[in-house]
């Protein structure tokens, strides 16, 4: 009886929800139609006689508009079923935190064991090196953007400085990689301070513009100072890394890595060595960041991000606080840059375009500004995902953009948005994501 009554009521209520949803979906379809007609519907091809021919592809447009309509409808249906989106509660934050303490060691163990996992070939290792390079860059930029709150759009400049520092020192003066590595870091840090001075008074949008310009200046100088940098031809013949003096060569002589350890020479040795090298460098960056966050300097960075005027009132030297953030962030980029140079054996200004800065910044923002593990996951997803979808060719960017939008819609404060206090009397409580910066520099 009561079941029948409920069934009778339900259809009567449904139109109240369904009609606006249908309208909404139709509107979405209309917008999609407006967009796809010029983008997809009309296409110019070179005709038989060499002139341009307008080709019409209404079928494709219909499919896309249909997809937009169905997608919107599905989304609305899902929302209706799920109810209003709940903000991340403290309980959920605590749960995520628990998961986080578990995820980090597992990821680390995976990273350490990767070269020995069966099925790992040269391709996987190369991809691992690439991902770890971006993890390191993300952690380095996190010091500037995530901790000190200084929006830096020209981070790749320091990466370039480090790469060219190693390339030039090694090719011109014949210095070894292990001497050049700290030198490249110091040089990049020096450039970080150099950038830091003129932008001390700038914040937010203005800072972003100046750092963006700085990144471009470095690239343009590298491109045009042909006598030193080789200009667009780049620097070739950069020495490959040695195992603390033992070169990786296929000859198997006693003076080589394989000969010294009495193993079969293999080109994979060098890749594995590079993999562990970048893993160690990335972990160093992580360790320094985590340590510094608990030190007065790191706390001053975070306070600076929160409120500059309050920092002044507390007697914090804003100048040194900002400059150290720029210098330290730049130093890690420089170290990563010299690793990049030794790995590639060839560098040119093409590797240091603005898109690199944008990707690194995206990793930091998507990961959740200030979160070490979030940045590592974001780098894995972004760089790894980019490789996984390589077969999609030109649609790869579409997937990439869509994924970024999805992450920002679902988790506006980044994958790991909570912030762990650096000090507490009793138990440490994570600070819920709802209190952490949302999609802003």
Partner 1 sequence: MSAPMLSVDTVSTAYGAVQALRDVSIEVAQGEIVTLVGANGAGKSTLLMTICGDPRARAGRVAFEGRDITALPTHEIMRLGLAQVPEGRRVFPRMTVMENLLMGAQVAGHDPAPLLAQVFALFPRLKEREAQRGGTLSGGEQQMLAIGRALMSKPRLLLLDEPSLGLAPLIVRQIFAAIRDLNEREGLTVLLVEQNAYQALRLAHRGYVLVNGRITLRGTGRELLAMPEVRDAYLGGGH
Residues near partner 1 (CB under 8 A): 296, 299-300, 302-303, 306-307, 309-310, 312-318, 419, 421-429, 431, 435-437
The least CB distance from residue 87 to partner 1, in Å, is 14
Secondary element (H or E) of residue 98: helix 90-113
Residue placing its CB nearer to partner 1 in the complex, 348 or 372: 372
Residue placing its CB nearer to partner 1 in the complex, 148 or 188: 148
Residue placing its CB nearer to partner 1 in the complex, 92 or 396: 92
**In the beta sheet, which residues pair with residue 53?**
45
The least CB distance from residue 52 to partner 1, in Å, is 56
Residue placing its CB nearer to partner 1 in the complex, 139 or 301: 301
Whole-number Å distance between alpha carbons of 143 and 291: 12
Q: How far is CA 338 from the centre of its chain?
A: 19
The least CB distance from residue 147 to partner 1, in Å, is 11
Q: Token pair for residue 104?
A: 């980090």
Residue placing its CB nearer to partner 1 in the complex, 50 or 426: 426
- Secondary structure (DSSP) of 223-253: HH-HHHH-GGG-B--PPPPEETTEE--TT--
The least CB distance from residue 411 to partner 1, in Å, is 17
Residue placing its CB nearer to partner 1 in the complex, 306 or 350: 306
Whole-number Å distance between alpha carbons of 268 and 121: 8
The least CB distance from residue 436 to partner 1, in Å, is 6
- Secondary structure (DSSP) of 56-83: E-HHHHHHHHHHHHHHHHHHHHHHHHH-
Residue placing its CB nearer to partner 1 in the complex, 126 or 302: 302
* Beta-sheet strands, E only, within 135-285: 242-243, 246-247
Q: How far is CA 220 from the centre of its chain?
A: 24
Whole-number Å distance between alpha carbons of 256 and 270: 11
Q: Token pair for residue 184?
A: 């490249």
Residue placing its CB nearer to partner 1 in the complex, 227 or 427: 427
Helix (H, G, I), strand (E, B) or coil at 45: strand
Q: Token pair for residue 398?
A: 């579409």
Instruction: Show the CA angle centred on residue 168, arms to residues 167 and 174, nearest 5°.
Output: 90
The least CB distance from residue 197 to partner 1, in Å, is 16
66 closest CA partner among 54, 74, 56: 74
- Secondary structure (DSSP) of 334-400: HHHHHHHHHHHS-B-GGGG-HHHHHHHHHHHHHH-TT-HHHHHHHHIIIIIHHHHGGGGGGGHHHHH
Whole-number Å distance between alpha carbons of 319 and 114: 43
Residue placing its CB nearer to partner 1 in the complex, 174 or 426: 426
The least CB distance from residue 423 to partner 1, in Å, is 6
The least CB distance from residue 296 to partner 1, in Å, is 5
Whole-number Å distance between alpha carbons of 8 and 3: 9
The least CB distance from residue 360 to partner 1, in Å, is 23
Residue placing its CB nearer to partner 1 in the complex, 241 or 368: 368
Residue placing its CB nearer to partner 1 in the complex, 49 or 427: 427
Distances in Å between the alpha carbon of 24 and those of 19, 28, 46, 263? 9, 6, 39, 67
The least CB distance from residue 336 to partner 1, in Å, is 28
**What residues contact 167, with CB distance under 8 A and at least 6 apart?**
235, 238, 341, 347
Decide the pairing of beta strands 242-243 and 42-46: unpaired
């Amino acid at each position: 009886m009561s079941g029948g009554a409920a069934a009778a009521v339900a259809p009567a209520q449904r139109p109240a929800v369904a009609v606006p949803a249908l309208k909404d979906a139709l509107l979405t379809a209309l917008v999609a139609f407006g967009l796809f007609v010029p983008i997809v519907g009309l296409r110019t091809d070179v005709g038989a006689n060499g002139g341009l021919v307008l080709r019409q592809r209404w079928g494709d447009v219909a499919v896309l508009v249909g997809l937009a309509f169905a997608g919107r409808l599905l989304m609305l249906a899902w929302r209706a079923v799920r109810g209003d989106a709940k903000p991340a509660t403290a309980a959920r934050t605590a749960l995520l935190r628990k998961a986080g303490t578990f995820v980090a060691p597992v990821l680390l163990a995976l990273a350490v064991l990767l070269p020995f996992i069966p099925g790992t070939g040269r391709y996987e290792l190369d991809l691992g090196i690439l991902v770890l390079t971006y993890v390191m860059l993300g952690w380095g930029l996190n010091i500037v953007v995530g901790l000190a709150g200084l929006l830096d759009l020209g981070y790749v400049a320091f990466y370039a400085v480090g790469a060219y520092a190693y390339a030039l020192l090694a090719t011109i003066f014949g210095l070894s990689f292990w001497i050049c590595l700290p030198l490249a870091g110091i040089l990049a840090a020096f450039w970080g301070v150099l950038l830091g001075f003129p932008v001390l008074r700038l914040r937010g949008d203005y800072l972003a513009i100046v750092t963006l310009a700085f990144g471009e200046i470095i690239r343009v100088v590298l491109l045009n100072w042909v006598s030193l940098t080789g200009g667009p031809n780049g620097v070739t013949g950069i020495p490959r890394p040695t195992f603390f003096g033992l070169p990786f060569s296929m000859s198997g002589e006693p003076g080589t890595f394989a000969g010294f350890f009495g193993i079969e020479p293999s080109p994979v040795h060098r890749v594995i060595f590079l993999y562990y090298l970048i893993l160690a460098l990335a972990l160093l960056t992580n360790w320094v960041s985590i340590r510094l966050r608990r030190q007065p300097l790191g706390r001053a960075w975070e306070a600076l991000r929160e409120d500059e005027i309050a920092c002044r009132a507390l007697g914090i030297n804003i100048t040194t606080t900002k400059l150290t953030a720029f210098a330290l962030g730049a130093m890690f980029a420089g170290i990563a840059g010299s690793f990049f140079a030794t790995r590639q054996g060839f560098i040119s200004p093409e590797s240091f375009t603005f898109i690199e800065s944008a990707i690194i910044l995206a990793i930091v923002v998507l990961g959740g500004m200030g979160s070490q593990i979030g940045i590592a996951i974001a780098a894995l997803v972004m760089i790894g995902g980019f490789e996984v979808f390589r077969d999609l060719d030109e649609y790869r960017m579409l997937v990439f953009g869509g994924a970024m939008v999805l992450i920002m819609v679902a988790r506006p404060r980044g994958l790991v948005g909570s912030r762990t206090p650096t000090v507490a009397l009793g138990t440490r409580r994570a600070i819920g994501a709802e209190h952490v910066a949302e999609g802003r520099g």
